[in-house]
Amino acid sequence: MAARYGVLLVNLGTPEAPTPKAVRQYLGEFLGDPRVIDAPRWLWWPILHGVILRIRPPKVAKAYASVWQEEGSPLLAIGRRQQRALRERLATQHGEPVPVELAMTYGKPSMEEAGLKLRESGVERILVVPLYPQFSRTTTGAVFQRLAKALEPCPHLPELRFVRDYHDHPDYIAALAASVRQHWETQGDRGRLLMSYHGIPKRYVDNGDPYARHCQKTSQLLAEELGLGEGEWFQSYQSRFGREEWLKPYTDETLKGWGADKTECVDVISPAFAADCLETLEEIDAENREYFQQAGGGRYRYIPALNDRPEHVTMLANLVEQHTAGW
């Protein structure tokens, strides 16, 4: 008997190997998406293919190599663990198997590959869960567009439901708070908490993207859940690209300033990431650690993403239950 529905987890993507060739292919697909870089194609294409894809791949490949795991890319390896854990949790709750597949917006496993597996499972209804707590046109919006493209040639479309965001979901905030509390208990003390989110161009927000508002709401709710007062936490944005102004304050500049002020201890968490990846492991845990400590700062501690923590899997399972009600 076919399952009542299937779940499609979606994350950003990753190169297939930490090599310049694989990185070039991945960046070409990622940075070629108009939802990520909305510059006119006649202007952007020569820059992307004539400059960026010739210069950046070796440097980015070296960064990927520094975090690559035996199972491959951290984002993909953790995504597979999340997929298995959610599948097991839903099967336990339902008393029967619930198909759960993982896809990437860019790279592999592709939407087409994951969709074929769901179809082979016999499901006629699919819940799409982009693993982005806060909505942005550059992430969740891109998932929607990529899924629509994947479905174009299908003669028989499944019934679809789509999780837009979960930035203020009580279970998500509780899972974040649990990870921070466990970190503090393990360390034996509390540092100043920096909540660092992936940035986007400020212009996108000015034009209506709700991402910054969602990030601010997540930060406020997490601070309240942890009982933090003013001065005990701060919010910033990382991973800016190009010369255009992005959302501020910038994480790297914030940490350099805190280091110069001789801040004794900093705890950094990245609530926009459902799984650790290059931007958290190499940029936050390594590069920004160096900025902070070279500027004169003290202890620097990264709090891992929620990954496949039990609280995170519980949150995802509850999210699925809520959005599949009536199926």
Give the residue numbers of the binding site: 198, 279
Instruction: Please report the sign of the dihedral spanned by the C-alpha atoms of residue 285, residue 291, residue 297, residue 298.
Output: positive
- Gap between the Cα atoms of 45 and 319, Å rounded: 39
Kindly state the helix (H) or strand (E) to which residue 127 belongs, with its residue range.
strand 125-130
Amino acid at 304: P
3-state secondary structure of 233: strand
Angle at the Cα of 135 from the Cα atoms of 29 and 142, rounded to 5 degrees: 25
- Gap between the Cα atoms of 87 and 317, Å rounded: 9
- Comparing CA positions, the residue from 304, 237, 306 lying closest to residue 11 is 306
- Gap between the Cα atoms of 249 and 166, Å rounded: 23
- Gap between the Cα atoms of 261 and 192, Å rounded: 13
3-state secondary structure of 162: strand
Strand order in the sheet with 125-130: 100-106, 6-13, 125-130, 159-162
Is 211 within 8 Å of 204 (Cβ atoms)? yes
Binding-site residues for Fe(2+), please?
198, 279
